[in-house]
A and B are shown apart, each in its own frame.
Chain A
Amino acid sequence: MVSDPEDKRDTLALAREVERFLYDEAALLDEWRLDEWVALFTAGGRYLVPATDKPEGDPRKTLTIINDDLARLRGRVERLKSRHAHREFPWSRTRRLITNVRITHVVAEEIFVTASFVVYRIRSGHVDPLIGHYEYTLKRVNGALKIKSRKAVLDLEALHPHGTVSIIL
């Protein structure tokens, strides 16, 4: 953990604020409140799920599973709200366990956060856990935390048996 010794903010309060933000975000996703969720992103926000064999790959030159800018992410949300998104119609049940939340460093208004996750997707008689960690860049905009980038890195060796990342991971 690298913390900035010059940072005079109350780190405990910040840690609580960040944890609360991640738990609230997880609740929005588990409750499929996708419009409220996508509103958490900054204008240049990005959402990335790397390939399982290249978790550190640069998405500009590595094949990934998801690499959304805000426009495509909004398209993804619109799709998931449609009855024609067949993989998610009806919606799966999901339960997100977010833990081991760490603020790795703070640079000006940007807060770099990692957290472990297990996201259970339950549908069609199957319970498929997606296991991994998040890497967030959060940014304070007009006093509130927003998501500048959100990377969900899977520990799975392959999407066996999940098949897809059809929910927001």
Chain B
Amino acid sequence: MGFKDLIFEDSARGIFRVHRSTMTSPDILDLERKNIFDKCWLYLGHESEVENPGDFRRRTVAGRPLFWVRGADGMVRAFHNTCTHWGANVCRVDEGNAEVFQCFYHAWTFNNKGELISVPDEDGYAEGFNPAELGLVSPPRLESYRGLYFVSFNPDIEDLVTYLAGAKDYMDLILDQAEDGWRVVPGAQKYAVRANWKLFSKNSLDSYHVAPLHVTFFKYVQSLGPGDPPPPPPESFRAPQGRSLALGNGHGVDIFAAGTRARPIAHWHPLLGEETREEIREIRARLVRRFGEERAYFMCNTNRLLLIYPNLALHDIAGISLRYFEPVGPDYMEVIVQTLVPKGESAELLNRRLENFLSFLGPGGFAHADDIEAMESAQQGYKAGGPEWIDVSRGMHREATSLDERHIRSFWRQWHANIREALKPERFDDLVQGR
């Protein structure tokens, strides 16, 4: 089968299928590494993780050990985590603060701007040896948007904001919710899933699975009693089943009314505890004053599942989750989840926000454990033989609701273009502005 045939699309009949080999083939994973992970912008971290000069974090991006650090000059830089001498990792802990990074092998020493500042017994090198050429090496591109840093191994990639396309507006809708900025809470949920990484891109956008798969979560929530009744939606949100939107460049978003469900910003439910009720009401009132009732409704009374292509899910539901995942093999991925919180949030609301987050999300959550089971089960199913295709047709015939798969098709169209070494899909009607 040629790469051209990996996706079957028949708009007239409303059929969209993806060949199952995309989820199992080592050859396709090799192509993904070359054409996607070496070509796209990839999430690195949040500015609050390197707040002060010398603060650093270690991270693997697309299988490459990197670290990133705020230099003494205040500038944030990312580096390949390898000494320019014999190659050992120069940063050997996950986080900290350092003026210098000394390689433990031969004690070559770099400052926190990446410059090689000391080589033991430098007299042993000839005149042609130039320490200025042997500083730590950065990935070709590093840019940030509102505190979220991304790297790219592609020197020719478009700037980050252009790349984010329509996803930028939804990042704004999330990031505007805090009055005094955001920070990543200490503690990361790090886990693996025995499934192809694209199952997580899909699952991160998909609302169709939520009611059937997460029965036990909703039973628990109902047992706690009712939340506050939601305010009526504005005229511009006449979408009781929400929307599934393609945002360009493979990004997508799923939007649906939060109803009575708990949102730290800003809708009260018993999950958030009686002591936070007044604070949450005040947060909403302030957002109405700053942005008007309509935008405040979208911020406080709708939930968002945003996917930044290819592998960052920014979820604004029970809290804000930053989830990034990357392939280790065709049937195995590694995942990191962190959570963003407003810098000025009270200790009571932060505590309740974290508990609320854990009820649904993460490896011990009442819902997410079953997402992981479902992804792993699908991966097992691809071994079964029989059907050759995955069906992604839902909602092809209508303005797509939150329960449809328009955003997931847009992911696959971008993926298909990248696999065939094209920058953009052939179908440009994907980019739809609006809610």
Q: List residues of chain A with CB under 8 Å of any chain B CB.
A: 49-54, 57, 59-67, 69, 71-72, 75-76, 78-79, 82, 84-88, 124, 126, 157-166
The one of A82, A87, A162 that contacts B215, using a Cβ cutoff of 8 Å? A82
Question: Nearest 5 pairs between A and B by C-beta?
Answer: A63-B187, A158-B190, A159-B191, A66-B364, A51-B187
A157 to B223, CA, bound (A): 35
- With A60-B354, A75-B220, A82-B216 already in contact, the answer to whether A164 and B187 are too (CB < 8 A) is no
A-B contact pairs, 19 of them (CB 8 A): A53-B188, A54-B188, A57-B186, A61-B347, A62-B187, A63-B337, A66-B358, A67-B355, A75-B220, A75-B366, A76-B366, A79-B220, A82-B215, A87-B373, A160-B334, A163-B191, A163-B376, A165-B364, A166-B369
A60 to B191, CA, bound (A): 22
- With A163-B363, A163-B372 already in contact, the answer to whether A61 and B192 are too (CB < 8 A) is no
Instruction: Tell me whether B248 is interfacial, beta carbon within 8 Å.
Output: no
The one of B186, B224, B364 that contacts A62, using a Cβ cutoff of 8 Å? B186
- Interfacial residues of chain B within 367-409, with CB under 8 A of chain A in the complex: 368-370, 372-374, 376, 380
Query: Which of chain B's residues have a CB closer than 8 A to the CB of A124?
Result: 376, 380
A85 to B374, CA, bound (A): 11
B192 touches A87 (CB 8 A): no
- Interfacial residues of chain B within 167-205, with CB under 8 A of chain A in the complex: 185-194
**CB-CB nearest in chain B for A76:** B366
Query: Which of chain A's residues have a CB closer than 8 A to the CB of B362?
Result: 63, 65
- With A59-B354, A66-B358, A87-B372 already in contact, the answer to whether A79 and B366 are too (CB < 8 A) is yes
- With A54-B186, A158-B192, A160-B192 already in contact, the answer to whether A85 and B364 are too (CB < 8 A) is no
A99 to B369, CA, bound (A): 28
Instruction: Tell me whether B350 is interfacial, beta carbon within 8 Å.
Output: yes
- With A51-B187, A87-B370 already in contact, the answer to whether A158 and B334 are too (CB < 8 A) is yes
A63 touches B339 (CB 8 A): yes
Task: Kindly name the residue among B190, B215, B337 whose own CB sees the greatest number of chain A CB atoms within 10 A.
Answer: B190
A140 to B251, CA, bound (A): 56
**CB-CB nearest in chain B for A126:** B194
Query: Which of chain B's residues have a CB closer than 8 A to the CB of A158?
Result: 190-192, 334
B369 touches A161 (CB 8 A): no
A60 touches B363 (CB 8 A): no
**B153 CB, min distance to chain A CBs, angstroms:** 24
B358 touches A67 (CB 8 A): yes
A59 to B219, CA, bound (A): 25
A79 touches B216 (CB 8 A): yes
B350 touches A61 (CB 8 A): yes
Interface readout for B212-235 with A: 1 if CB under 8 Å, 0 if not?
A: 010111011001100000000000
Query: Which of chain A's residues have a CB closer than 8 A to the CB of B163?
Result: none
A60 to B353, CA, bound (A): 9
A50 touches B216 (CB 8 A): no
**A48 CB, min distance to chain B CBs, angstroms:** 10
Query: Which of chain B's residues have a CB closer than 8 A to the CB of A79?
Result: 216-217, 219-220, 366
A65 touches B370 (CB 8 A): no
A64 to B219, CA, bound (A): 23
A86 touches B185 (CB 8 A): no
A143 to B331, CA, bound (A): 52
Query: Which of chain A's residues have a CB closer than 8 A to the CB of B369?
Result: 85, 87-88, 164-166
A64 touches B334 (CB 8 A): no
- With A60-B354, A65-B363, A164-B369 already in contact, the answer to whether A54 and B220 are too (CB < 8 A) is no
Q: Given A54-B186, A63-B337, A65-B362, 13 other A-B contacts at CB below 8 A? A: A51-B190, A59-B354, A62-B186, A63-B339, A64-B354, A78-B220, A79-B220, A86-B213, A124-B376, A162-B192, A165-B364, A166-B363, A166-B369
Query: Which of chain B's residues have a CB closer than 8 A to the CB of A69?
Result: 355
> Secondary structure of the A side of the interface?
loop
A159 touches B186 (CB 8 A): no
A54 to B339, CA, bound (A): 14
Query: Which of chain B's residues have a CB closer than 8 A to the CB of A64?
Result: 187, 354, 358
A63 touches B189 (CB 8 A): yes
Instruction: Tell me whether B359 is interfacial, beta carbon within 8 Å.
Output: yes
**CB-CB nearest in chain B for A85:** B216
**CB-CB nearest in chain B for A71:** B224
Instruction: Tell me whether B94 is interfacial, beta carbon within 8 Å.
Output: yes
A86 to B214, CA, bound (A): 9
Query: Which of chain A's residues have a CB closer than 8 A to the CB of B216?
Result: 78-79, 82, 84-85
**B35 CB, min distance to chain A CBs, angstroms:** 26
Task: Kindly name the residue among A64, A66, A71, A157 whose own CB sees the greatest number of chain B CB atoms within 10 A.
Answer: A64
Instruction: Tell me whether B357 is interfacial, beta carbon within 8 Å.
Output: yes
Query: Which of chain A's residues have a CB closer than 8 A to the CB of B363?
Result: 65, 159, 162-166
Interface readout for B135-175 with A: 1 if CB under 8 Å, 0 if not?
A: 00000000000000000000000000000000000000000
**CB-CB nearest in chain B for A53:** B188
B351 touches A164 (CB 8 A): no
The one of B338, B355, B374 that contacts A86, using a Cβ cutoff of 8 Å? B374
A67 to B339, CA, bound (A): 15
**CB-CB nearest in chain B for A63:** B187
Query: Which of chain A's residues have a CB closer than 8 A to the CB of B193?
Result: 163
**B370 CB, min distance to chain A CBs, angstroms:** 4
**A109 CB, min distance to chain B CBs, angstroms:** 27
A64 to B192, CA, bound (A): 16
**B61 CB, min distance to chain A CBs, angstroms:** 16
Query: Which of chain A's residues have a CB closer than 8 A to the CB of B188?
Result: 51, 53-54, 63
Query: Which of chain A's residues have a CB closer than 8 A to the CB of B237?
Result: none
- With A61-B350, A163-B363 already in contact, the answer to whether A51 and B189 are too (CB < 8 A) is yes
